[in-house]
């Protein structure tokens, strides 16, 4: 069964563009992950995440963005954020993710072409909805990434990580 969600994408000469609509949350980030990983598996290392229609982001969503930036950075790639809006910019910068993500760069090749690019995007169709075990693991990994980005984040997410580790273990045990 395939699920259509509020993510659209396109691959262009220099990057893969992924547009997120609505709330960037733990519900939407598994689809963002699947879309990005499909393109990474094809050798793509430069991503633009379009947040123009994103009404806000939770920590799981931001943790996935940070993890993607870390992974593609090891391959010489980068993750750029297009049209974050003030609220989303503050959220990303508040967690220090501006050290991993290039937020609204003035000199990117796509600047001034955003509407043209958005007009060429295709809706992303999720292959399958993640089960509870996969969701718990994804949420945990996203928060581990956030905690690893700085000492402040490590302190900020310490208790959350304990709860998420227990939750992931509980769901893993149920399927064993």
Domain of 29, CATH number, reads 3.30.750.24
Range 156-163 contact pairs with CB under 8 angstroms and sequence separation of 24 or more: 157/59, 160/59
How many angstroms separate the CA atoms of 117 and 142, rounded? 28
Residue 99 within any structural domain of the chain: yes
Lowest-confidence region among 14-18, 21-25, 81-85, 167-171: 167-171
Residue 109 within any structural domain of the chain: yes
For 36, the domain range is 3-128
Res 143 pLDDT > 50 = yes
Residue 52 within any structural domain of the chain: yes
Total residues found in the chain within this entry: 176
Question: What is the enclosing helix (H) or strand (E) of 138?
Answer: helix 132-149
pTM: 0.91
Residue 58 pLDDT: 97
Q: Which residues contact 40 (CB under 8 A, 6 or more apart)?
A: 71, 72
The pLDDT confidence band at residue 34, using thresholds 50, 70 and 90, is: very high
Residue 172 within any structural domain of the chain: no
Helix intervals (H) in 47-131:
59-73, 85-94, 114-118
Residue 143 within any structural domain of the chain: no
Domains contained in the chain, number:
1
Residue 30 within any structural domain of the chain: yes
The pLDDT confidence band at residue 174, using thresholds 50, 70 and 90, is: low
Can you count the helices (H) and strands (E) in the chain?
6, 6
């Amino acid at each position: 069964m395939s699920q259509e969600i509020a993510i659209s994408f396109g691959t262009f000469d220099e990057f893969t563009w992924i547009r997120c609509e609505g709330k960037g949350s733990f519900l939407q980030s598994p689809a963002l992950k699947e879309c990005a990983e499909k393109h990474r598996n094809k050798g793509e290392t430069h991503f633009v995440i379009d947040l123009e229609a994103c009404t806000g982001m939770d920590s799981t969503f931001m943790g996935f963005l940070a993890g993607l930036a870390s992974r593609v950075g090891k391959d010489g790639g980068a993750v750029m954020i297009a049209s974050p809006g003030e609220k989303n910019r503050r959220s990303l910068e508040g967690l220090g993710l501006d050290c991993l993500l290039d937020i609204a760069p003035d000199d990117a090749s796509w600047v001034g072409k955003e509407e043209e690019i958005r007009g060429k995007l295709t809706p992303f169709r999720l292959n399958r909805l993640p089960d509870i075990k996969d969701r718990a693991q994804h949420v945990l990994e996203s928060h581990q990434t956030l905690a690893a980005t700085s000492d402040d984040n490590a302190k900020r997410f310490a208790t959350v990580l304990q709860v998420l580790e227990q939750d992931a273990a509980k769901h893993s045990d149920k399927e064993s």
